């Protein structure tokens, strides 16, 4: 006979079961409220949202908006995050380099990056380059700060050992600092990726655009709530898939630690 411990052990080994059950319960309550007419007409049930999404996919409208949005988000992320990681690691191993950026970083980091969009638009207009630039600026800071903290957190003893065996600065950086700072750097990349999607939508809401953000605003203005929620769902799915791919790559990079990820899943 079961003593009741087997189900608990299963839940501990597979906590995702609880997460899925909780999400399914929320969706069921939401759908029940919509079916019973307890929700305002502008709040659609999950079934209606999924139906509206498939309708847009069938008509080809959703894909036409997803592709340019992904191009902007991923381009901005790649540019901003890569520069942030490189400069963050360099600042972590070089105090003069770090002090060079400290004041500029401290002054510009608190500024909401979307507030820079009108200033950038004066030069570039409400164009893709302007949107990608704003996304890149927003993606830069999480990548920079986490790479910096990762490099600063490297065990000094490891660096000392490297120097004592005659390793060059470049070799110490590549074989000691870079691997040891990877976990924190990956966390920064995941934050930067999510920020990139947020800024993608924000920049597309302003000026003429053909992306998901513009579609959300058009649907809102025309009271097409099905299309609006379909756009929101598309943003969420794109973000989840992009994060899953980045997490998969990070697990490969961090497999040497036996950590199976960043520790921040």
What is the reported pLDDT for 164?
A: 64
What is the reported pLDDT for 264?
A: 43
What is the reported pLDDT for 265?
A: 43
What is the reported pLDDT for 139?
A: 96
What is the reported pLDDT for 253?
A: 75
Q: Which of 201, 236, 234, 84 is nearest to 131 (CA)?
A: 201
Q: What is the pLDDT along the chain (265 residues), one digit of tens a residue?
A: 455 555 555 556 666 677 888 888 998 998 998 888 888 888 888 999 999 999 988 888 888 899 999 999 999 999 999 999 999 988 888 888 888 888 888 888 888 899 999 999 999 988 899 999 999 999 999 999 999 998 888 766 666 666 666 666 676 777 777 788 888 999 999 999 999 999 999 999 887 778 899 889 888 888 888 899 999 999 999 999 999 999 888 888 777 554 444 444 4
What is the reported pLDDT for 144?
A: 94
- Based on the number of CB atoms within 10 Å of its own CB, is 61 exposed (0-12), middle (13-18) or buried (19 or more)? middle
Q: Which of 192, 99, 96 is nearest to 147 (CA)?
A: 192
What is the reported pLDDT for 166?
A: 64
């Amino acid at each position: 006979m079961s003593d009741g411990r087997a189900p608990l052990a299963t839940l501990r080994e597979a906590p995702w079961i609880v997460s899925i059950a909780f999400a399914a319960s929320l969706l069921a309550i939401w759908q029940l409220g919509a079916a019973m007419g307890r929700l305002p007409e502008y709040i659609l049930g999950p079934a209606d949202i999924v139906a509206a999404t498939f309708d847009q996919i069938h008509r080809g409208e959703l894909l036409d908006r997803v592709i340019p949005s992904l191009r902007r988000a991923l381009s901005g992320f790649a540019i901003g995050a890569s520069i942030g990681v490189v400069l963050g690691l360099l600042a972590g191993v070089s105090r003069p380099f770090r002090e060079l950026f400290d004041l500029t970083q401290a002054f510009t980091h608190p500024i909401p990056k979307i507030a820079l969009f009108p200033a950038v638009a004066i030069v570039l207009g409400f164009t893709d380059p302007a949107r990608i630039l704003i996304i890149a600026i927003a993606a830069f800071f999480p990548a920079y700060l986490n790479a910096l903290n990762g490099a600063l957190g490297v065990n000094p003893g490891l660096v000392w050992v490297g120097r004592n065996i005659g390793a060059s600065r470049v070799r110490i950086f590549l074989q000691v600092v870079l691997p040891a700072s990877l976990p924190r750097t990956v966390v920064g990349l995941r934050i930067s990726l999510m920020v990139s999607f947020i800024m993608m939508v924000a920049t597309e809401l302003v000026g003429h655009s053909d992306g998901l953000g513009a579609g959300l605003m058009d649907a809102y203005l025309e009271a097409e709530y099905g299309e609006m929620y379909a756009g929101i769902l598309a943003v969420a799915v794109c973000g989840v898939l992009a994060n899953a791919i980045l997490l998969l790559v990070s697990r490969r990079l961090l497999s040497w630690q036996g950590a199976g990820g960043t520790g921040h899943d």
